[in-house]
Structure 1
Amino acid sequence: MWQMRLFWAVNLPDDLKRKLSGLQSRLRETPANVKWVEQHNLHLTIRFLGDVDAGRVDEITRVAREAVAGLGGFSLQLSGLGFFPGPHKPRVVWVGVQGNLLKFRELYNRMETGMAKLGFSGDGKRFSPHLTLGRVRAPQANAELLSKAGDIAGEFGIIGEVKVAAVDLMESRLTRKGPVYTVLNTLYLSD
């Protein structure tokens, strides 16, 4: 059986992806060596599963559906810029997440519990809601990137709002031109 690289995500509306892409364009003005997430691939990751036998997709979807049943939709706002693990050694450029974080954390915890039942162990990291804009490839010109991010972050409050009404099981196919994401299944967060 062939393997599929899978993850659960909240996909974003196109207008919000355009705003985030505009933010990336401004950060690209620096000479920093960053691999930026393509506009069409911007999303909020809930749970990365990794390489999985294709025959398990139905089982994964069924267990996740049971896990999120009755959770109900909620709203999140994207705001602020930051770096993981921190500004002294940036590896990931991110946008922060605000709003109904209790409900978002509940979604994450339910998904973690459901996927653990299927043998997907967690990475041990604390849940830190964020949206990845890019990954820093090399340390040169990071000072300029940090400075530009600070300037931009001071200009805005909320970048946009996400109405979370569903989660998607995504396949990620790695190609020479970057990852190609495909929605395999959508689970609606009915009340």
Structure 2
Amino acid sequence: MIATLSKRQEGPTARTFVAIELPDDLKNRLQALRTKFGEGAEMLKWTGQAQLHVTLRFLGDVERSRLHLVVDAASHAASLTKQFSLQLGDLGAFPNERSPRVLWVGLLEDEGKSRLSRLFSVLEEAIVHRGFPPEPLPFSPHLTMARARDRLSSVDRSRIGRALQELRRSANLPASIDVRQITVMESSLSAAGARYSPVATLPLLLEELKRG
């Protein structure tokens, strides 16, 4: 596939990341969790339904003249990766549930997550090869559901943690994500929040047919 870069020009740089997008039905299910969150929901800034995704690689501000290099790296990684499925895991929090700052949904430790890690490794190598700095943190894929508001007391954070534990007991999260493509995204920040725009979408290889 030959990717076409977005024609939008809003500045010399673009806040860029590579992501796995989610199907609308799964976004609806995840968004519904917000209505089930108990005491402390008002102390969280929830991720908008349109912004729910799995980040594969965050690059930050990239010069627009170099965006084609990110697309080229993503295209290279996609061309070496067969389609696969991910399974949603449990709810959790960074750095911990006693003083949560970020609420997330994890992924099950299975073959799908192993294949995701291999995709990240190929993408990371391709990105670094094209002159971008390496990712300094270990790969920890997840879906960010919400962030705690600033200046919360330890008591307030504890309330959020307890509500998260209660939601985990009642939530019916198991779901599958069919990963058929990866997307280079641009994030535009405003007072209304982040808006994501696809720069290029790169399809993965079709899974080989199993012969009987």
Q: TM-score, normalised by structure 1?
A: 0.92
Write out aligned runs for 1:45-124 (5 A). Answer: 45-98=55-108, 99=110, 100-124=112-136
When structure 1 is superposed on structure 2, of 169-178 and 84-93 the one drifting more is 84-93
Equivalent residue in structure 2 for 1:148, among 137, 154, 163 = 163
Gaps of 5+ in 1: none
TM-superposed CA distance for 1:106, in Å, is: 0.5
When structure 1 is superposed on structure 2, of 24-33 and 13-22 the one drifting more is 24-33
Indicate the percent of aligned positions where both proteins have the same amino acid.
Answer: 34
Secondary structure, in 3 states, of the residue corresponding to 2:31? Answer: helix
Amino acid at match of 2:140: S
Asked if 1:169 corresponds to 2:181, the answer is no
Q: Tell me the alpha carbon deviations over residues 92-121 of structure 1, each in whole angstroms, 9 at most, x when there is no partner.
A: 110011241110101111111111112322
TM-superposed CA distance for 1:156, in Å, is: 3.8
Equivalent residue in structure 2 for 1:41, among 10, 31, 51 = 51
Secondary structure, in 3 states, of the residue corresponding to 1:122? Answer: coil
From the CA coordinates, give the structure whose radius of gyration is larger: 2
Gaps of 5+ in 2: 1-10, 207-212
Amino acid at match of 2:92: G
TM-superposed CA distance for 1:157, in Å, is: 4.9
Q: TM-score, normalised by structure 2?
A: 0.83
Q: Tell me the alpha carbon deviations over residues 22-63 of structure 1, each in whole angstroms, 9 at most, x when there is no partner.
A: 112322652552211101100000000111111222222122
What is the number of equivalent residue pairs in this alignment? 191
Equivalent residue in structure 2 for 1:21, among 10, 14, 31 = 31
